Amino acid sequence: MAYKDLRNENFENIDASSTDFYGSNLSGVNFSGANLHGATMAYTSLVSANMANTDMSGANLTNADMTNANIFCADLTDAVLCNAKLTGVNLKDAKAVSGNRLPEAGLSDVQHRLDTQDNTNETPPSLLPISDWL
């Protein structure tokens, strides 16, 4: 699946664990409820993709463009988001974001906040729902 143009495809509830999407155009794709555990999605375009309720634990999203993606209630445990573009992303109620490597991710207009209060022993920052700090 690497380097494919899959724009606007419907992959709702698909089991694509460990799938290699490297460099693919996944803009507008519906991955709602999908299993993307351990998937390689580095250098992909996920602009406006629907990834709500998706298992992306352990996925590699390095340098992915996730502008305006919906990641509501997704599991991002240990997903790698280095240099990912997260402008306008909906991360509301996303699960276990604390394992992510986010120091260089573009986080403008993200619907979560960075919690840097408890980052000892080189623990990466975590994302917490906005409601936790209002």
CATH number of residue 51's parent domain: 2.160.20.80
Q: Is-contact 40 20, C-beta < 8 A? A: yes
% residues pLDDT > 90 (the chain)? 54
Average pLDDT score, the chain: 80
If one counts the domains in the chain, the total is 1
Query: Is the pLDDT assigned to residue 110 strictly greater than 60?
Result: no
Q: Is residue 119 included in any domain, yes or no?
A: no
Q: What is the per-residue pLDDT across 26-76, written as a single tens digit (0 to 9) for each?
A: 999 999 999 999 999 999 999 999 999 999 999 999 999 999 999 999 999
| Cα-based distances in Å from 73 to 14, 23, 56 | 17, 25, 11
Print the domain residue range for 7.
1-110
Q: Is residue 56 included in any domain, yes or no?
A: yes
Q: Is residue 76 included in any domain, yes or no?
A: yes
Return d(Cα 98, Cα 112) in angstroms, integer: 12
Q: Is residue 15 included in any domain, yes or no?
A: yes
Q: Is residue 51 included in any domain, yes or no?
A: yes
pLDDT score of 34 = 98
